[in-house]
Every structure is written in C-alpha cells, then in structure tokens.
A and B are shown apart, each in its own frame.
Chain A
Amino acid sequence: MGSITIRNVSKTFGEAKVIPNIDLEINDGEFVVFVGPSGCGKSTLLRLIAGLEDVSGGQILIDGKDVTEAAPAERGLAMVFQSYALYPHMSVRNNIAFPLKMANMDQALINKKVEGAAKVLNLTDYLDRRPGQLSGGQRQRVAIGRAIVREPSAFLFDEPLSNLDAALRGTMRLEISDLHYQLKTTMVYVTHDQIEAMTMADKIVVLNRGNIEQVGSPLELYKSPRNLFVAGFIGSPRMNLIEGDYARSKNAKTVGIRPEHLLPSKQSGLWRGTVTVAEHLGADTFLHANVDGLGPITARVDGEFGVKHGETVYLTPDESKLHRFDDKGLALGPALTGA
C-alpha cells in the first residue's frame, strides 16, 4: 500500500514562500512525476513528503494516516538522492544492508535480501567494493538497491539520473520503469527533464513557482495543456507560440502549434520562411525557420527533408491541432474551423 495525500500544504523558508498551497492525490502503485523548471520547488515538495522538511501548513497523509508530524523513518518511504548519498566508507553490501541493520533484522535474512536486490540490479559482482570504486550508473543502482530492500510503501526519487551521461540516462530510465512494473510500488519521481516525465509517468504533475499548473497523464498534457506554461514545457521541440494577427484571426491572444503539426513544403504553403538551421537527425529533421510576420518557428518532419540554411521553406499548420490561449494564458476550447 502506498497512497499519498497532500492537503493544503505550504512551505516557507524565512521570507520566501516556496510552496504557496498544494493539494495532490497520489494513488497506490502509481508512477507520479513532478516536473518543472529548476528552482520551482519540486525537491522541496518531495522532501516534505519524505519528512526531511517540516510543512509550514497543511497535512500529509500516507495510506490515510496523518504523518505530518512523523519522523522520516516512521513514514515507510525510501528515497534515492540526486547525489546518491551512498555511505562512502561502507562496501556496497553494507550500504544496501544499512536500513535493514538499523531495523535490527536478523543477519541471515539481511544477507538474503541484499543478495536478492543485488541480483535484480546486476550488482552481485560488486558487493564487496566501495562506492568510490563504482561508475555513476552502478552507484545509482546501489542507491536504488538500498531503497528496495526496505520494501517501502513508496519510493521517492530526486532527479536520480541528472548526473549520468545521455546514453546511461536512457538505460536507467528503462530500468526504473521496469522496476516499477515488477514491484508495482508507488513511485514519486522528480525531474526537470520533460522527456523523463513523458516516458516514465503514469501521472505528471507540472509545477511552476511552487504551484501545480496541471496534473494528468503524459498524453493528456500533450494533447490538452491547460495553459501556456504547460504547453511550452511539455513536448520537444517546444510548441511554437504565436501572437498577433494570426492569433486574433483564431479569436485568441496566443495560439500554439507543435512542431510536428506543421507541414513543410518547398513549393507552397500558408507561411513562407527562411531556414536558419536545419537539424538532420536521420529519423527526423528539425527545421528552424524565420517566418515572415511571425518570427522564428520550429517544424519537425519525419525522415529527411533536404533544405539548407538560407533556403526558403513553406509551412502549413494543421489547424485541427491548434491550441488557443486567452490573455491570461489559459487554454480555450479547440479552434473553430473556418473562422
């Protein structure tokens, strides 16, 4: 069991109100990702759940039980830190065994559990090494091992992959997703990387300046962002946001069109632009063009599209995929066709 309820929680550091007021429900077994720009309060919210910071107001419930005042160890949660926070002078074996030892578990049982965890995480050959003798990815796995042996009711991850190189990040992402699939334990995962959020989450919580901008499944956020912030944050490359005459013709302050919903052509189209950069990735081409009257627009084309810097390109938006926003930045309904 591992459902977490956050009720009217706020957090201030001295004068700074880092989290004004948050309400959130995390269901048992869910993979929830907190995503948002750096400094928006993701770590703070996670640490409030963990009990490493005291709330300034509100309540935190785990499985319906009020744990607002409970010490971290009493909450039955396990956390994986950004710096891994392994104990440097202990072997991998003792690192993983530490929480069990602190719980005064029987040594034979500890050994069994540690070896079990090591097997799952491919660490069997490294059990007698020190953390300092391991690579980044292996250290990450030790930190995860130390978390899983406790069989917590939920895992908390604070940007666990941000110290790894891109290739390893991809692998670890899959491993963590796989782990969630096997354990079916609630996981709360903090990241500033929307790709991690999109690929791993059952439910994404988009945070901005300590406020929840939107909660939803990855595809919900992609298809119907509630406001400009979410629209700009979720999706890569970023959604093109256009103001001015074109937006007014759609009865909106701002309209957004994702790069993948623009149809490029070398002959004709709605908008005419000059290519500034064309990124040829093989599977896709990202076209960055300066469109007359609109400014810089990014388009994403499947496969190869042979244009170079300085050439002319025509772009036509798929108007059924247009996002419209009012002057407060909130999403309006779908565009009225033929307007």
Chain B
Amino acid sequence: MATFHTRSAARLMMAPSVLLLFAWMIVPLATTIYFSTLNYNLLSPGDHAFLGITNYQYFLTDPAFFDALINTLLLVGGVLFITIIGGIGFALLLDQQIYGQGIVRILAIAPFFVMPTVAALVWKNMFMNPVNGLFAYFFRLAGMEPLDWLASIPLFSIIIIVAWQWLPFATLILLTSLQSLDEEQKEAAEMDGASAFSRFIYLTLPHMARAITVVILIETIFLLSVFAEILVTTNGGPGTDSTNLTYLIYSQALLQFDIGGASAGGIVAVILANIVAIFLVRIVGKNLEA
C-alpha cells in the first residue's frame, strides 16, 4: 500500500481537506495577530493606529495576567488530579459484577451530557448557595456556619464543578482500559501470591497507563479553555480569584471593548497552550508508543 502511485494519489485526495483545515486555522490566527498590533477599541471608532508590541506589553505586565496564569494551571491541575484519582476509583467500582450494572453505568456517565452552563448553574444554585444550597443544609446540620462557596473559595468551587463534569469521561476511558486487562494475567498474579493491592499496583495501574495518558491529554486541551462555568458562577471574581486566561481575554475584549489587547492575550494563550502541549507530549506522550 505504499507504492509511489498510492502515495501520490493519497496526497492528491487529502489535499482539499488539508487546505480547508489550514485556511480554517491560519485565517483567524493571522487576523488575531494583525489585531493584536493595533490600537483597536470598540469605544473609539475611526482609525486603528499601529502600535507594534504595546498591546503585548500591557497584557503581560497586567497583574491580572499573572493571576490568570496561576489560576489556569491550578484549574487544569486540580481537575486532572480529581478526575484521574476519582476516575480510577469509579472504574474499579463499575468493573465489579453488580446487579443493575447497565443502569449504574449509564447514571455514572450522565454528567458528561449536561451542558457546562447548566451544570454550573445547578451547582451554584442547588448545592453551593449559602442560604438554600444542599451543602449549606449539611453545614447547618453539623452545627457549622454555612460556607459561601463561590465567594470564599471561588476557584476551588469551580474546580469541583468542572471535575464533576469530566469525571465520567475519565471513568469511561479508564473502565474500558480496565476491562481489556487480560484475565489470565490477573490469575497468574493471584497464583504468584500478589495481594489485591499488589495486583493493582503492579498489574492494573501499568496496564491503565496509556488510558491515563489519553485522559490527561484530552482533558488538558479542554480544561485550558474552561469558560462557561466561570461566566455563570463567579464572573472571574471576586477580583481575579477565579479568572483564568480564557476569561481574562473575554473580559478584555467584551467587557473593556479592547480588541487589540484581547488579541494580544489570545496570542499569548496560544503560545502558552503550545508550551503545555509540548511538555505533555514529551512527558506522557511516550506512554502512547509501542
């Protein structure tokens, strides 16, 4: 299948989609880079003067940028941590033979189908509300002052909400991986005298390494751009306590009407995302080989 003819035919047939994809990426990217060099504010119509790198200087020296950077990393890291650990736990549970297994599995997958805005609103109003929320009720039951989740620990609250949404995804991928573990290997380990815990450490976990890698890679891509959950709960506040990069760029563009500054922020975010991607592929991507 790799003769000269098949290869050139393949290239020819792939060309339209490659071109389309290329244009799809390059045009917005080029426009954004172009805007990022202009003094382009929606409140001051007329000439957009060329500013060079001034927008970048403003964006990078803005104290909010550093906060947003840290928050983004905390958000991604926190959600990954919870979903991987929790996902392994749920996958192990769901792998057990239980009555009504099918229903339990569907229920466990359900949060993934709930839209981010809806999920965040449900959490905000039904669980985390300091007056009517379920958590407040539990706090009062325990005789404690209810916690105003979104005001006092906003970033952590958002991490919980986002983790809840991504837990099913992690569980699903890890469960499939768990089910592909060869039964005879487990039995061999059992005969070799390995306890359930040792079997998990020496057999199950290494077997799941690839699936864990996949979960980390895919989740990171989506978690870098978490937005809806922040918009409907904390609006990035209080202050910049729950502002991530995506939300910071949004607030530049559409709250401060500074298209030039937001574009510069967008380019910075693209560069940062690529750095993260390179690191990820270097560190965990080697698990995907062989």
A31 to B192, CA, bound (A): 22
Q: How far is the CB of B97 from chain A (nearest CB, A)?
A: 13
- For residue B238, CB closer than 8 A to chain A, the reply is no
On whether the beta carbons of B202 and A78 are closer than 8 Å, the reply is no
A87-B202 CB under 8 A given contacts A102-B193, A150-B192: yes
On whether the beta carbons of B187 and A85 are closer than 8 Å, the reply is yes
- For residue A174, CB closer than 8 A to chain B, the reply is no
Instruction: Return chain B residues, CB-CB under 8 Å to A72.
Output: 187, 190-191
Counted as pairs of residues, one from A and one from B, with CB atoms less than 8 Å apart, the total is 61
Q: How far is the CB of B204 from chain A (nearest CB, A)?
A: 11
On whether the beta carbons of B187 and A103 are closer than 8 Å, the reply is no
On whether the beta carbons of B194 and A102 are closer than 8 Å, the reply is yes
- For residue A81, CB closer than 8 A to chain B, the reply is yes
| Chain A 103-156 interface residues, beta-carbon cutoff 8 Å to B | 103, 132, 146, 150
- The secondary-structure label for the interface of chain A is loop
On whether the beta carbons of B191 and A77 are closer than 8 Å, the reply is yes
**CB-CB nearest in chain A for B184:** A85
A265 to B125, CA, bound (A): 98
A82 to B184, CA, bound (A): 9
Instruction: Return chain A residues, CB-CB under 8 Å to B105.
Output: none
A168 to B203, CA, bound (A): 29
Partner of B192, one of A51, A88, A89, A98: A98
- The secondary-structure label for the interface of chain B is helix
A52-B193 CB under 8 A given contacts A89-B206, A89-B207: no
Instruction: Return chain A residues, CB-CB under 8 Å to B206.
Output: 87, 89-90
On whether the beta carbons of A99 and B193 are closer than 8 Å, the reply is yes
A81 to B187, CA, bound (A): 9
Partner of B203, one of A52, A73, A78, A87: A87
Q: How far is the CB of B139 from chain A (nearest CB, A)?
A: 45
A88 to B185, CA, bound (A): 9
Instruction: Return chain A residues, CB-CB under 8 Å to B190.
Output: 52, 71-73
Beta-carbon contacts of B183-200 to A below 8 Å, as 1s and 0s?
011011111111100100
Q: How far is the CB of A154 from chain B (nearest CB, A)?
A: 12
A contact residues, range: 20 to 34
Q: How far is the CB of B134 from chain A (nearest CB, A)?
A: 43
**CB-CB nearest in chain B for A103:** B193
- For residue A35, CB closer than 8 A to chain B, the reply is no
- For residue B95, CB closer than 8 A to chain A, the reply is no
- For residue B13, CB closer than 8 A to chain A, the reply is no
Partner of B191, one of A52, A82, A86, A90: A52
A98-B202 CB under 8 A given contacts A81-B187, A89-B207, A150-B192: yes
On whether the beta carbons of A50 and B193 are closer than 8 Å, the reply is no
On whether the beta carbons of B191 and A87 are closer than 8 Å, the reply is no
On whether the beta carbons of B207 and A79 are closer than 8 Å, the reply is no
Q: How far is the CB of B178 from chain A (nearest CB, A)?
A: 15
On whether the beta carbons of B188 and A85 are closer than 8 Å, the reply is yes
| Chain B 139-172 interface residues, beta-carbon cutoff 8 Å to A | none
A81-B202 CB under 8 A given contacts A52-B191, A103-B193: no
A265 to B105, CA, bound (A): 72
| Chain A 251-270 interface residues, beta-carbon cutoff 8 Å to B | none
**CB-CB nearest in chain B for A77:** B191
A90 to B207, CA, bound (A): 11
Q: How far is the CB of B71 from chain A (nearest CB, A)?
A: 36
**CB-CB nearest in chain A for B209:** A89
| Chain A 52-79 interface residues, beta-carbon cutoff 8 Å to B | 52, 71-73, 77-79
- For residue A177, CB closer than 8 A to chain B, the reply is no
Instruction: Return chain A residues, CB-CB under 8 Å to B198.
Output: 102
A81-B184 CB under 8 A given contacts A87-B202, A102-B198, A132-B290: yes
Q: How far is the CB of A334 from chain B (nearest CB, A)?
A: 46
| Chain A 265-313 interface residues, beta-carbon cutoff 8 Å to B | none
On whether the beta carbons of A98 and B189 are closer than 8 Å, the reply is yes
A77 to B206, CA, bound (A): 26
On whether the beta carbons of B192 and A99 are closer than 8 Å, the reply is yes
A79-B188 CB under 8 A given contacts A85-B182, A87-B203: yes
| A-B pairs with lowest CB-CB distance, top 4 | A99-B192, A85-B188, A73-B193, A85-B184
Apart from the given pairs A52-B187, A87-B188, A89-B206, 15 other A-B contacts in the complex at a CB distance below 8 Å: A51-B191, A71-B190, A73-B190, A77-B191, A79-B187, A81-B184, A85-B184, A85-B185, A85-B188, A86-B185, A87-B189, A88-B207, A99-B192, A102-B198, A132-B290
State the A residues within 8 Å of B (CB): 50-52, 71-73, 77-79, 81-83, 85-90, 98-99, 102-103, 132, 146, 150
